[in-house]
Amino acid sequence: MTGGPAELVSRTPEELRALLPEVPAYRVGQAFRWLQKGARAFDEMTDLPLSFRARLAELGHLTAPTAARCQTARDGTAKILWRLSDGQGVESVLMRYRHGNTVCLSTQAGCRQGCAFCASTVGGLIRNLTAGEMLAQVTGTAREVGVPVSGVVLMGIGEPLDNLDEVERFVRLLAHPDGLRMSPRRVSLSTCGLIDGIDRLAAAALPLTLSVSLHAPDDGTRTRLMPGNPGVSVLLDACRRYFKATGRRVSYEYILLRDVNDTEDRAHLLGRLLAGTPAHVNLIPYNPAGRGEFRPSRPDQVRCFAAAVASHGPSVTCRRRLGQEIDAACGQLRRQIE
Ligand code: SF4
């Protein structure tokens, strides 16, 4: 765990009990619940004796990032820039859907994957976030915006599979019956395609949704967009292994970039590659506030692309463009405090 023993929010009840052998188990359970609810001060833990609160403060610290900035769009999408305890900035986005509110959160400060369309990778990877820092984004976003959160998407700054130990810890804490009780089925993990990580995730038996950022069906285009591309066929093989091990359909994210990856022949190639395996393709309109090199596809091209992919069998949706006026593409806000 990167946060060390002092970071209490990342601890399971068993780990807290081991750190506090002199404290009755039910008291440790009460402290765990406060930590998971996102308490920002030990004084908030009003049902704990003062002496126990003092002991906790002596033992470690609370993970309470401060909201350095919060922008809200007309459609209710809210983007929050968090300043972490060491001054690093990460972003979370609250997205409002008919079925509930979802937080898109960051798993790393910076990213080393180098995707050409992504602002988060400018400056490389600074450090991994702890499970507690991920949890604090969920509880903090709910508190800042004043709404309940029923889903989590690991699609903010960072590559979750590059920080899998902490991500796995986070998902297990999130589901804990004495914590936020959010099932892994309400969690979606988005990866640029780290093969070892996909295989490890398949073995971890967490029923979350694996979402692969594919963005091109051919290696030439994909490597240009995503320099860590292991090869499209290698990646799709790993996805098939994941489906075989978990029985869970893989989602494929595809940012449509005008004249780069949005031609009809690429749509048919994508459809053919995914035919025969349960797959869902989510087409994402490019947010042009990014690095300037790309433009979004025209609406008629988006429709044409979607129809061509669907003609081979995969289900296809086109993501609604949320929070357009607040630069909701990840990594853009963070750079404003650097
Ligand atoms: S798209 Fe994701 S994996 Fe790629 S550079 Fe951005 S944050 Fe990293």
Residue 67 pLDDT > 50: yes
- Structure-block tokens of residue 9: 């929010």
Residue 338 pLDDT > 70: no
Is residue 208 assigned to a domain? yes
Closest ligand 1 atom to the C-alpha of 108? 7
Tell me, yes or no, whether 23 and 167 share the same domain: no
Closest ligand 1 atom to the C-alpha of 226? 4
Tell me, yes or no, whether 310 and 239 share the same domain: yes
Q: How confident is the model at residue 180 (pLDDT cuts 50, 70, 90)?
A: very high
Is residue 183 assigned to a domain? yes
Q: Report the alpha-carbon distance of residue 127 to residue 87 in Å, rounded.
A: 12
Catalytic residue positions, numbered: 91, 330
DSSP 311: T
Tell me, yes or no, whether 141 and 256 share the same domain: yes
Closest ligand 1 atom to the C-alpha of 159? 3
Tell me, yes or no, whether 24 and 161 share the same domain: no
Q: Ligand 1: which of 104, 121, 214 to mutate, judged by most atoms within 8 Å of the beta carbon?
A: 121
**Which pLDDT belongs to residue 324?**
58
Q: How confident is the model at residue 2 (pLDDT cuts 50, 70, 90)?
A: very low
Tell me, yes or no, whether 91 and 145 share the same domain: yes
Residue type, 32: F
Tell me, yes or no, whether 183 and 214 share the same domain: yes
Tell me, yes or no, whether 137 and 26 share the same domain: no
Q: Using the mean position of ligand 1's atoms as its centre, give its distance from the Cα of residue 81 in Å.
A: 17
For residues 19 and 13, the answer to whether their CB atoms sit within 8 Å is: no
- Identify the residues whose C-beta falls under 6 Å from ligand 1: 111, 113, 115, 118, 120-121, 157-159, 192
Tell me, yes or no, whether 166 and 307 share the same domain: yes
User: What sections of the chain are H helices per DSSP?
Assistant: 13-19, 25-37, 50-59, 131-145, 164-174, 195-204, 219-225, 232-246, 264-274, 299-310
CA dihedral angle for residue 242, residue 246, residue 247, residue 253, rounded to 10 degrees: -50
Question: Which residue, chain included where needed, has tokens 């970071």?
Answer: 7
CATH value at residue 31: 1.10.150
Q: How confident is the model at residue 277 (pLDDT cuts 50, 70, 90)?
A: confident
Atom 7, ligand 1: which residue's CA is nearest? 158
CA dihedral angle for residue 188, residue 232, residue 328, residue 318, rounded to 10 degrees: -80
Is residue 160 assigned to a domain? yes
Tell me, yes or no, whether 177 and 154 share the same domain: yes
Dihedrals φ, ψ of 82, to 5°?
-100, 140
| Average pLDDT score over residue span 98-117 | 95
DSSP 324: G
Tell me, yes or no, whether 245 and 159 share the same domain: yes
Residue type, 211: S
Rg of the chain (C-alpha set): 21
Is residue 171 assigned to a domain? yes
Closest ligand 1 atom to the C-alpha of 155? 2
Q: How confident is the model at residue 336 (pLDDT cuts 50, 70, 90)?
A: very low
Residue type, 147: V
CATH value at residue 257: 3.20.20.70
Q: Residue 51 class from Cβ within 10 Å (0-12 exposed, 13-18 middle, 19+ buried)?
A: exposed
Atom 6, ligand 1: which residue's CA is nearest? 118
Parallel, antiparallel, or unpaired for β 209-213 and 250-256?
Answer: parallel
Is residue 114 assigned to a domain? yes
Tell me, yes or no, whether 165 and 195 share the same domain: yes
Residue 331 pLDDT > 60: no
Domains in the chain, number: 2
- The closest of 186, 242, 193, 258 to 222, measured between CA atoms, is 193
Is residue 1 assigned to a domain? no
Q: Using the mean position of ligand 1's atoms as its centre, give its distance from the Cα of residue 26 in Å.
A: 42
Residue 218 pLDDT > 80: yes
**Which pLDDT belongs to residue 285?**
87
DSSP per-residue letters across 62-131: ----EEEEEEE-TTS-EEEEEEPTTS-EEEEEEEEETTEEEEE--SEEE-SS--TT-GGGTT-EEEEPPH
Which residues, in sequence order, are bridge partners of residue 103?
Answer: 94, 152
Dihedrals φ, ψ of 90, to 5°?
-135, 165
For residues 137 and 90, the answer to whether their CB atoms sit within 8 Å is: yes
When mean pLDDT is compared across 62-76, 191-205, 214-228, the lowest value belongs to: 62-76
- Structure-block tokens of residue 29: 């359970």
Q: Using the mean position of ligand 1's atoms as its centre, give its distance from the Cα of residue 41 in Å.
A: 33
Tell me, yes or no, whether 29 and 104 share the same domain: no
Is residue 3 assigned to a domain? no
**Which pLDDT belongs to residue 233?**
97
Residue 295 pLDDT > 50: yes
- Structure-block tokens of residue 122: 């400018």
Q: Report the alpha-carbon distance of residue 44 to residue 13 in Å, rounded.
A: 19
Q: Ligand 1: which of 104, 108, 153, 192 to mutate, judged by most atoms within 8 Å of the beta carbon?
A: 192
Q: Using the mean position of ligand 1's atoms as its centre, give its distance from the Cα of residue 191 in Å.
A: 8
Q: Which structural domain range is residue 276 located in?
A: 66-337
Q: Using the mean position of ligand 1's atoms as its centre, give its distance from the Cα of residue 114 in Å.
A: 7
Instruction: Name the packing angle between helices 25-37 and 131-145 (round to 10°).
Output: 60
Is residue 2 assigned to a domain? no
Q: Report the alpha-carbon distance of residue 112 to residue 128 in Å, rounded.
A: 11
Q: Is 159 left (phi over 0), alpha (psi -120 to 50) or beta?
A: beta
